[in-house]
Amino acid sequence: MVLFSLVATHADIDLETVAQLSTGASELAASALAGSPAVAGAIVLSTCNRFEIYGEAPRQDDVDAARAALIAQLSGSTGLNEQLVSRSFNTRTGADVSRHLFAVSSGLDSAVVGEREIAGQVRRALITAQHEGTASSGLVRLFQAASKTAKDVGAQTALGARGLSVVSVALDLATEISEDPDWSTKKIVVFGTGAYAGATMSLLRERGCTDVSVYSSSGRAAGFVATRGGTALDGGTLLAAVAEADVMIGCSGADTRVEAAELAGVRAASPRPLIAIDLALTHDFDPAVGGLDGVELLTLESVRLAAPQEQAESLAQASSIVAGAASAFEQEREARSVDSAIVALRRHTMDVLDAEMERVRSRHGCTAAAEEVEFALRRMVKQLLHVPTVRARELAANGQQENYVAALEALYGITVEQPAANAADAECPVEHASPPAAEAARDTA
C-alpha cells in the first residue's frame, strides 16, 4: 500500500481558491472510494488556510489514477474547472507525506506558526473519516503518529508557549485599531458554534468580555452558550444584536453570509464604529462590508500578514522532532511492508514440510522415529528461515522491500498478496466523537 497526499495551502495559492476547493469536502472521500479502485482510503483535512487530501493506493502505479479520481470528483462537486483543481494541488508521496502532515499538526506550517488549534483539526479529520468508513489502516496510523508528534512538540519545546492562534492574532489586531481597547465594555456577536467559535469565546472571556451573543444558522446556539456563557440569538433577534454590536466575529463558514447592503441598512442608525472579524474560509461576511463607513474588516489574510514569527531556537527544536518522528514512521511502515512476504515464505516452507511429513506418516505410521524426524525438520526449517527473515527487515529499512518480494516470486513462485487496507485493523486511541459531534466539528474554519 502506498500513501500519498494532495496539498493546497495559503503558501501556494490564494485563500479564495482554498475556500472554493473546500466546498466539495464533505462527500469527497466516500465518493472517491466508491468510484475508483485506485483509492483504498482517504482523509480530508480542511482548515481556515488549507485543503489537503490524504490517500492510500494499493500500489505505486495506482497513485496517478487515484489522484485523477480525486481531482475529477472534486471538480464535479465544486463546479471548478478540472485543470484549475489539478493545478491547485501539490502531490506528495513516500516520506514527504508524513513529514508534511507531522509539520502541519505541530503548527510549523500554519499562518500563525506554532498555533495549537491545528492539532485538534487533524484529530477531528481522522475521527470524521473513521465515522464515514474512509480511513484505511495506513492512514489511521499516519494520523495517530501526527497527533503524537504534535504532543511531543508541545511538551518538549517552547513553540506555541505564547498561546498564539489565528483567533488571538485577530483579536490583537482588533485591539490595535479600536478606539477603545477595553474589551470589557464591548458588545460582541459571534457567528458559529464550532471549534473556532469555542476558542473565540475562551479568548473573549480572558479579555474581560461579558456581553457576547452567539448566532448559528444550524440552530445550535442555545446548546453552545449553555456551556460557554453568552446569549443565544435566532433569526428574530440577530439583526438587533448586530445593530448594537462593537465587534462581530465570523467563525461558521455557513452557506449564508452577512451582505454589505444588509449590514448598511441594519447599522444606518448606529453611531458606533464596528469591527468585523471574518475567520471563516468561505466568508461569513461579504468582503464589501470593509468599504462601509464606520466598518473595519479583518480577514484571514490580515491575520497571516500580522502573525509574529516564533523564535528560531524553538522552530529548530520542533523541526528536529518532526523530522525524527517522520523518519521513525517511515522505517516502521517499510518494515510492515515485508510482513506479508515473510508470512508467505513461512507458509510456503511449512506447507512443504507438512506435505513431506504426511508422506512419512503414511509410509511408517506415527512412530517415535517419525516424531523425531518431524522435530528435526521443523528445527531445521526454523533455522533456514532466520536469515531470510532478518534480511527482509534489513531490505525494508533501506526501502528495498520490493527486491525481496521479487526474489520470492522468482525463486519459489510465491505471489505475495498485500492485506486489504481496512481501518478496523488499526486501533485508534483517539476518543471517537458521535456523528453529531463530528458534524459540529466541521462547522469550523
End-to-end CA gap in the chain: 32
**DSSP H or E segment with residue 73:** helix 63-78
pLDDT score for 219: 86
For residue range 414-429, list pLDDT tens digits in order.
777 655 444 444 444 3
Q: Rounded to whole angstroms, how far apart are CA atoms 103 and 96?
A: 11
Which pLDDT band holds residue 73 (cuts at 50, 70, 90)?
very high
Q: Which residues pair with 250 in a beta bridge?
A: 191, 278
Among 70-74, 249-253, 369-373, which is the least confidently predicted range?
A: 369-373
Among 79-83, 90-94, 114-118, 198-202, which is the least confidently predicted range?
A: 114-118
Give me the mean pLDDT over the 178-194 stretch.
91
Parallel, antiparallel, or unpaired for β 247-250 and 211-215?
Answer: unpaired
349 and 250 within one domain = no
For residue range 368-393, list pLDDT tens digits in order.
777 888 888 888 888 888 888 788 77
pLDDT score for 424: 43
86 and 185 within one domain = no
Residue 59 domain boundaries? 2-162+427-441
3-state secondary structure of 276: strand
CATH code for the domain in which residue 273 is found: 3.40.50.720
pLDDT score for 432: 37
pLDDT score for 309: 67
| Alpha-carbon dihedral angle through residues 276, 281, 285, 287, given to the nearest 10 degrees | 90
267 and 349 within one domain = no
254 and 213 within one domain = yes
Helices (H), 134-266: 137-156, 166-177, 195-206, 221-228, 238-244, 260-266
Does residue 372 sit within a domain? yes
Does residue 109 sit within a domain? yes
Average of per-residue pLDDT values in the chain: 84
Do residues 105 and 122 make contact, with C-beta atoms less than 8 angstroms apart? yes
Give me the mean pLDDT over the 33-44 stretch.
92
User: pLDDT at residue 20 above 70?
Assistant: yes
User: pLDDT at residue 17 above 60?
Assistant: yes
Angle of CA points 141, 401, 414, to nearest 5°: 110
Does residue 315 sit within a domain? no
Does residue 316 sit within a domain? no
158 and 193 within one domain = no
Q: Which residues pair with 278 in a beta bridge?
A: 250
157 and 24 within one domain = yes
Does residue 95 sit within a domain? yes
CATH code for the domain in which residue 55 is found: 3.30.460.30
For residue 345, give every residue at least 6 positions away whose Cβ sits within 8 Å of its Cβ, in sequence order, or none: 385, 388, 389, 408, 412, 414
Report which listed range, 179-193, 246-260, 363-377, is most confident. 179-193
* Single residue among 306, 328, 359 that ends a domain in this structure: 306
Given the residues 48, 209, 251, 428, select the one marked as catalytic. 48
For residue 2, give every residue at least 6 positions away whose Cβ sits within 8 Å of its Cβ, in sequence order, or none: 56, 57, 58, 59, 60, 62, 63, 93
pLDDT score for 442: 39
269 and 246 within one domain = yes
Report which listed range, 76-85, 96-105, 335-344, is most confident. 96-105
Angle, helix 401-412 to helix 339-364, in steps of 10 degrees:
30
146 and 15 within one domain = yes
* Single residue among 261, 287, 306 that ends a domain in this structure: 306
Does residue 72 sit within a domain? yes
User: pLDDT at residue 78 above 80?
Assistant: yes
In the chain, how many domains are there?
Answer: 3
Does residue 386 sit within a domain? yes
Give me the mean pLDDT over the 157-163 stretch.
74
User: pLDDT at residue 353 above 60?
Assistant: yes
The grid cell for 274 is 464596528
Does residue 374 sit within a domain? yes
16 and 152 within one domain = yes
Which pLDDT band holds residue 254 (cuts at 50, 70, 90)?
low
7 and 126 within one domain = yes
48 is catalytic: yes
**pTM for the structure as a whole:** 0.67
277 and 191 within one domain = yes
Work out the percent of the chain whose per-residue pLDDT is above 70. Answer: 89
203 and 143 within one domain = no
Among 113-117, 142-146, 352-356, which is the least confidently predicted range?
A: 113-117
User: pLDDT at residue 445 above 60?
Assistant: no
Among 146-155, 230-239, 293-302, 364-373, which is the least confidently predicted range?
A: 364-373
